[in-house]
Structure 1
Amino acid sequence: MVNFTTYTIDTAPKDSKPILEAAKKKLGFVPNLMATMAESPVMVEGYLTLMGLFDKSRLSATERELVLMTNSRLNGCTYCMAAHTAVCKKAGVDEDVINSLRSGTPINDPKLEALRKFCIIINKKRGWATEEEVEEFLAAGYTKETVLEVIVGTSLKVLSNYSTHNLNVSLDEAFLPMAWSEDMDKSC
């Protein structure tokens, strides 16, 4: 496997340094994923920019994490599952919801479950939801805007999940207690 460098702010390519500094300011540290993405200033800036835009969506913090974790689980991203479990815990997401997202099992809340199911449809069908599937999602209380925001969140996970798959990113110490593997989910 090709080894990619996990940069620090000091060792990163010149155009990545301010992006890593912004990540540190926002998150309190530079996650290994972004430190490795720094190989390409375009990639790390694109990822942070899209993350910032997704945070501005009308989805609640729980709903945003649901979109991100559902996609990460479906894409088999061990790094992102651990990282987003930590984010969920910090944001106060209900433990039952976190457990459902980690295991791929239904969520007791019908509206959140509708969102989880729609995320699965968008991911597995590569965006080709049927008219009936979109209508069912809208009937659960979501909007046309939400349909598009799910696609934004899915796109964000393509950037990070596909990067971790190819960059051999090691799990940050802060995320180790939330480690996850596909073996934890036999339904994927």
Structure 2
Amino acid sequence: MPYVPPLEIEEAPEDSKPLLKAIKEKFGKSLNLFSTLAHQPDVLGGVTQINDGIQNDLPDLYRELAYYKVSRVNSCDYCSHYHRQAAKKAGLSEEQLDSMDVNSKLFDDKERVILSYAEELTKTKKVDPQVMANLKNFLDEQQIVTLAATVAFANFTNRVNHGLDIELP
């Protein structure tokens, strides 16, 4: 049972209602993470801005690979559920998603670097300079910033989900 219940649009504070409506329109349904954050409109607004911001310049496959890796490392069932679906839509196979091993031959060199970056930043809060050098071989600086923000945002949402015991619908 969640520590704080998700809100229906009608129950939400006025400042949260347009954001919840936009989320429902974008995803085709209400999502408990956002519906729970609706209790605090400023937090919901910030989260939706970051979520929108990380969608722009990094290929979907890399973004979802990183997000799903972080969610698996953190054992966040909620984010793993949604981002596994998004990762499949972005082109990752069931076999890849079951593995997520940074050394797996199921992934190409670029994907393994993304996995290493996401895992290192999540587990150690820093990144090996060689991993960064490898990222710079195929991502520009803007994309690297987006990747860092994606990994940080995934860690944030994982912890919010754990901290509030947000449930899958």
TM-score range for the pair, normalised by the shorter chain length: 0.7 to 0.9
Aligned residue identity for 1:70: K
Residue in 2 aligned with 1:138? Answer: 136
* Structure 2 letter corresponding to 1:136: N
- Contact 1:6 1:36 (8 Å CA) reproduced: yes
Residue of structure 2 in register with 1:159 after alignment: 156
How far the C-alpha of 1:92 sits from its partner, in A, is 4.0
Which residue number in structure 2 is paired with residue 48 of structure 1? 48
TM-score normalised by L of structure 1: 0.80
CA contact (8 A) 1:37 1:163 kept: no
- Is this contact kept in 2: 1:5–1:39, CA < 8 A? no
Q: Is residue 47–residue 159 contact of structure 1 (8 Å, CA) maintained in 2?
A: no
Using a 3 Å threshold, how does the CA distance of structure 1 residues 104 and 167 change in structure 2: closer, same or farther? farther
- Cα RMSD (Å): 2.1
* Aligned residue identity for 2:98: N
Q: Is contact 1:77-1:165 (8 Å) kept?
A: yes
Query: Secondary structure in 2 aligned to 1:93?
Result: coil
- CA shift at 1:71, angstroms? 1.2
Task: Give distance in 2, aligned partners of 1:20 and 1:11.
Answer: 11
- Can you list the C-alpha shifts for 1:58-88, whole angstroms capped at 9, x where unaligned? x211111011111111222111001111222
Structure 1 56/114 Cα, relative in aligned 2: closer, same or farther at 3 Å?
same
The amino acid that maps onto 1:74 is V
Q: Aligned-pair distance for 1:50? A: 0.7
TM-score (norm 2): 0.88
1:65 partnered with 2:64: yes
Letter of the 2:152 partner, please give it.
Answer: S
> Mind listing any 5+ residue stretches in structure 1 that lack a counterpart?
173-188
Q: 1:122 to 1:4 in 2, by over 3 A?
A: same
Aligned to 1:6: 6
Q: Percent identity?
A: 26
Does the aligned pair in 2 maintain the 1:33–1:169 contact within 8 Å? Answer: yes
Q: 1:2 offset after TM fit, Å?
A: 7.6
Give CA-to-partner distance per residue, 1:113-159, whole Å, 9 cap, x none. Answer: 11111111222221x224333113324x2333332222110222133
Contact kept, 8 Å, 2:84 with 2:97, in 1: the verdict is yes
Match of 1:129 in 2: 127
CA shift in 2, pair 1:68/1:96, >3 Å: same
The total of aligned residue pairs comes to: 168
Q: Relative to structure 2, which stretch is displaced further, 142-151 or 45-54?
A: 142-151
Change in CA separation of 1:160 and 1:136 when aligned onto 2, cut-off 3 Å = same
Which residue of structure 2 aligns with residue 27 of structure 1?
A: 27
